[in-house]
Structure 1
C-alpha cells in the first residue's frame, strides 16, 4: 500500500513538471551573424548547456549560427555582441522550476572561421559538448565542466584544454605549447605535433598515440594509467617514469637505463636534448615506439 502511494506521488510530481515544461511554451530559436575576417581578432563563447562547434569554412567571413530552443517569450537564449575586434557569444539557461529538466539537446552554437589564425579563441561550456575541427588560432582556450571535448585538425601556437568531468580527444593537430588538464576524465591524444606538452589528470587515463618527439613532454595522473607510443623512434631523449604500482615499461630503441628501480625507471636515448616525464601515483606506465 505504501509503495502504491509513493508511486502515485512520483507520477503526480513528474506529470506536474512535464505540464509546467509544456506551459513554458518552448519554441525554436535560430540566428546567424557574419563578420569580415579581417575585422575580428578574438572570439569568446560562454555557454551553459548548448553544444559548441568550431570549424573551418571556405567563405571569407566568420559565421556564427545558433540553433536551439527558446523557453521564455522575452529573453533570447543566446546573445551575440561585437565590440571593436572581439565577438562574444553568451548562452544562458532560463531560471525557473523547469530549467533543470532537459529532454534531448537544448541547442548548438556553431562558429565557422576561414583558416586564418585569430589572436584568441576562448570556448567555455558548463554542460554541453565541444567540438573543434580544422581551426587555426594563435591562442585557444577550451574549458568544459561536464561534457566531452573533441579537437581535430587544430593549428595553434598555444592551446589550453581544461575539463572538470569529461574526456578530451585531440587528434591530428599542431599545437606548439599544449596544456591539457582534467579532474575526472580520460585524455586521448593522437598524432599531435608539440614542442612543449603538459598533460595532467586527477582521476583518468592518459593515452598518447603516434607521439612526436618534442622539446619537453610531461604526463601525470594521480589515479590512472599512462600510455605513450611514439610515431617515430626518438633520437635525443631523457626519460623519467615513476609509479607506485611498480609496473613500468620503457621499450625504446637505443634506450639506456640509468635508474632501474621497482617504482622508477630513468634513462636516455642519444644526446638527451629533449625530455619526457611520466608520473602516475597508482597506474601502469608504458612507453613504447
Structure 2
C-alpha cells in the first residue's frame, strides 16, 4: 500500500514538473540587423521560420524558442543575395527527445525592396505574411507552408508530406505540387493556377473567377466554392462523383456565359464539388 502511494505521489510530482517545464515562456534572441537585399535565400532543416514586413528599410533576424544559440544560423550576404542557413549540430539521443516546440526564426523584410524569396526545408514550417514579391519558391519535405496577405507575380510550392494554406493573397501565377498534403486556398486571386496533389484534398473557398484554374488530385476530394457566381466559365471535370451546383451552368456545353475563363478539376478516387 505504501509503495503504491509513493508511486502515485512520485508520478504526480513528475507530471507537475513537466507541466511547469512546458509552460515556461519562450525567449527571443536577436541575431542581427542587415541592409536590405532584393533576393532572400533560406535553407533549413528542423527550424520553423516566420517572414513578414519590416518596420523600416532593414532586414531583421531573430530566433524565438526555449533553447537558443546564435550558432544555430549562419548568415551571408553576396551578390545582392541574403543567405540564411541552419547549422547542423551533432545531437545525442537525449537531445532528440523534445517536449517543447521547435524554435522559430523570425525574419522581417523591407516590403518595397525585397524581390525574390527562396525557402528550402525538411521538417520545419514556413509562415510568410504581408509582403509583395516578384517570385517565391518553397520546397519542404514534411513541413507546412502558410501564406497570408501576399502579392506575388510567380510562386512555386513543392511539398512531400505537408499542407499548404493560402489566405487573402493575390498570386498571378501559382504552381503547387504536393505528394501527401492538403491544399487550402481562401479568398485569393490570380491569373493562372495549377494545383496538384497525389494523396490530399484541395479546397478553395471564397474563390474568385480567374482565367485559368487547374486542380488535380489522385485520391483526394476537390471543393471549389465561389464567392460570387462566375459569369463566363468553361468547366471540365473528371471523376467518379461530381456535384456542380453553379447557377446558370449549362450541362450540355459545360459553360456559363461564353466560357472565356477556364476551370479544370480532376480526381480518380475523390469527390468533386463546385458551387
1:23 corresponds to: none
Q: Which runs of 4+ in 1 moved over 6 A?
A: none
2:33 corresponds to: 34
Could you tell me how far apart the structure 2 residues matched to 1:168 and 1:219 are? 14
Any conservation in 2 of the 1:241–1:278 contact (CA below 8 Å)? yes
Q: Deviations over 1:113-155 (max 9, x none)?
A: 2322522101111111111111221001112211222111011
Residue 179, structure 1, aligned to residue 175, structure 2: yes
Change (3 A) 1:31 1:84: farther
Give 1:100 shift: 7.3
1:270 corresponds to: 257
Count of residue pairs brought into register by the alignment: 247
Could you tell me how far apart the structure 1 residues matched to 2:82 and 2:219 are? 39
Any conservation in 2 of the 1:66–1:78 contact (CA below 8 Å)? no
1:93 to 88, 91, 112: 88
Any conservation in 2 of the 1:93–1:99 contact (CA below 8 Å)? no
Give 1:211 shift: 0.9
Could you tell me how far apart the structure 2 residues matched to 1:148 and 1:61 are? 27
Any conservation in 2 of the 1:226–1:283 contact (CA below 8 Å)? yes
Q: Higher mean Cα deviation, 191-200 or 104-113?
A: 104-113
2:51 corresponds to: 54
Q: Deviations over 1:172-196 (max 9, x none)?
A: 0000001111111111100111100
Could you tell me how far apart the structure 2 residues matched to 1:99 and 1:109 are? 23
- Does the residue aligned with 1:199 lie in a helix, a strand or coil? strand
Could you tell me how far apart the structure 2 residues matched to 1:77 and 1:56 are? 23
Any conservation in 2 of the 1:117–1:136 contact (CA below 8 Å)? no
Any conservation in 2 of the 1:238–1:274 contact (CA below 8 Å)? yes
Residue 211, structure 1, aligned to residue 210, structure 2: no
Q: Deviations over 1:221-243 (max 9, x none)?
A: 00110000111111111100111
- Unaligned runs of 5+ residues in structure 1 are 1-27, 259-265
Any conservation in 1 of the 2:29–2:68 contact (CA below 8 Å)? no
Could you tell me how far apart the structure 2 residues matched to 1:167 and 1:256 are? 34
- Does the residue aligned with 2:248 lie in a helix, a strand or coil? coil
More strand by share: 1
- Unaligned runs of 5+ residues in structure 2 are 1-26
Could you tell me how far apart the structure 1 residues matched to 2:163 and 2:119 are? 16
Give 1:156 shift: 0.5
Q: Deviations over 1:221-274 (max 9, x none)?
A: 00110000111111111100111x2x101111211113xxxxxxx701111111
- Does the residue aligned with 2:56 lie in a helix, a strand or coil? coil
Residue 253, structure 1, aligned to residue 252, structure 2: no
Any conservation in 2 of the 1:49–1:93 contact (CA below 8 Å)? no
Give 1:89 shift: 0.4
1:121 to 117, 134, 148: 117
Could you tell me how far apart the structure 1 residues matched to 2:64 and 2:78 are? 23
Give 1:105 shift: 3.0
TM-score by length of 1: 0.80
Any conservation in 2 of the 1:146–1:166 contact (CA below 8 Å)? yes
